[in-house]
Amino acid sequence: MEGHYGYRRILKELWPMVLMLMVTSVYSIVDGWFISNYAGSTAFAAMNIIWPAVAILSALGLMVGAGGSALVSKTFGERKVERGNHIFTMLIRLTFLAGAGISLLLFVAMRPVAVALGAEGDMIGYAVTYGRILTAALPVYMVQLALQPFCMTAGRPEIGTYTSIACGVTNIVFDALFVAVFGWGLTGAAIATALSFLVGGLLPVLFFRSRRNTTNLRFLPESPAEGPAIRQSLLNGLSEFVGNISFNVIAICYNLQLMKYIGENGVSAYGVLMYVGFIFGSIFIGYNMGVSQVISFKYGAGDKAELRSLLRKSCTLIAIGGLLITAVVEALAPQISALFVGYDVALRDLTTYAMRIYMLSFLICGFNMFASAWFTALNNGPVSAVISFTRTLVFELGCVFLLPLLLGIDGIWLSVNAAEVLALILSVILIRVFQKRYGY
């Protein structure tokens, strides 16, 4: 990560991370397509009801990866390689142990959780089955999420990309076999996803433990727990943790509102919007995860000129990406909707209409996501968390309950746009306020 990062170098070195996140987003999308087309809209709605609960608990892995990799990258920038490897080893081991405990608790409590999230009638059984199977593989999924940013820290982002491709292929192959061929429905889709979690968690672990790993980043035989490093890593990754939890809490609230105003079809339509959001949102997330390592390294090295350059270039690239994503989604909304729910004309039309309103948010959301990642990379987790928390649990949560009272159903689809505008104002203010402190 030494030297200057121009546009060409940024794109060349960060595209593997972007591709990795896009492939990772295939997990639930593939499940959704097979479940919707082979098991029906009730099973599809049940999956969308329970997935946020699994995602919220797996967010600890994302928190450790984002925050820990920022700390390790900063430590490497200070030329403390052995220290960085100790932190890396300790964090990954603790992530797996925490995941095992969380998995057990969620497995036992799955039925009341499903009911609390809005599952009704036949949806409850579907949601419990799907959730418990995924929960069994939750510890390795958390390890996978934690290791993704560390691939960039090691200077080998393609390892994460290859792992994600292997996960995606695993999920697709077994979904086709279990759901389309064997007719196992929602259960088959859940097993396929759990197997892909195992692949995603084990492959990078094997790489960092192998003799083929020639990078500075590697597992150490011993890594006793160290409170200050753990706290700093968790504090650094607080915004990613809050952002992920907030996103899924918002999804739960959307589902509750949609069940109230529209019913099962509303939840199914929102599920399709989430899949589209996963794919295109992963472009921004992947970019942020990759560039954050560079920002942390330059910050640790005291290279303020490069920090200014990375801020300016990132905003330009995000603006271009947002325009392209919005144009693609607006043009292909009918085709995307038909891909998932083409068997139901009314549901397809509802999904298309909602998508064209909801996805306008991509013109703005990339800037807010980057602003949060920017402060994480500068090892300022609290400010990053303020952006993530306010953007979702304040602005969007408020809009999703307030706007439907004023605008009816359209208010639900418009909520994210209004929230992103408010969050952008906050992001710009915070970046300007801290400009002098960090010298960018």
Contact 354, 333 (CB under 8 A): no
Residues shown for the chain: 440
Average of per-residue pLDDT across 35-42: 86
| Residue 430 predicted with pLDDT over 80 | yes
Could you tell me if 408 and 263 are in contact, meaning their C-beta atoms sit under 8 angstroms apart? no
For residue 113, what pLDDT is reported? 94
| Number of helices and strands in the chain (H, E) | 19, 0
Which pLDDT tens digit goes with each residue over 207-236? 999 888 989 899 998 888 888 999 989 888
Residue 303, C-beta contacts closer than 8 angstroms, at least 6 positions apart: none
Q: Which residue has the higher pLDDT, 238 or 92?
A: 92
Percent of the chain with pLDDT over 70: 99
pLDDT at 309 over 90: yes
Confidence at 205, pLDDT banded by 50, 70, 90: very high
Q: What is the mean pLDDT of residues 45-52?
A: 87
**Could you tell me if 289 and 149 are in contact, meaning their C-beta atoms sit under 8 angstroms apart?**
yes
- What is the mean pLDDT of the segment spanning 245-254? 84
State the Cα angle at 103 between 99 and 104, rounded to 5°.
125
Q: Kindly indicate the confidence band of residue 99, based on its pLDDT and cuts at 50, 70 and 90.
A: very high
User: DSSP strand E in 293-365: where?
Assistant: none
- Does position 385 have pLDDT exceeding 70, yes or no? yes
For the stretch 314-329, pLDDT in tens is: 999 999 999 999 999 9
Mean per-residue pLDDT for 409-431? Answer: 95
> For the segment 148-193, what is each residue's pLDDT rounded down to a tens digit?
889 888 888 788 878 888 888 898 899 999 999 999 999 999 999 9
The tokens describing 229, both together, are 């490093």
pLDDT digits (tens, 9 = 90+) for 109-128: 999 999 988 888 888 999 99
- What are the tens digits of pLDDT across the range 262-302? 888 898 899 899 888 888 988 998 899 889 888 988 888 88
Count the neighbouring beta carbons within 10 Å of the beta carbon of residue 215: 15
Kindly state the average pLDDT of the residues 195-200: 93
How far apart CA 181 and CA 176 sit, in angstroms, is 6
Q: What is the DSSP letter of 216?
A: S
So what's the pLDDT on residue 247?
A: 76
| The predicted structure's pLDDT at residue 148 | 86
Task: Calculate the average pLDDT of the chain.
Answer: 89
Check residue 344 and report its DSSP letter: -
394-395-400-402 Cα dihedral, nearest 10 degrees: 90
Q: pLDDT band at 245, cuts 50/70/90?
A: confident
**Percent composition of the chain: helix, strand, coil (DSSP 3-state, to 5):** 85, 0, 15
**pLDDT value of position 401:** 93
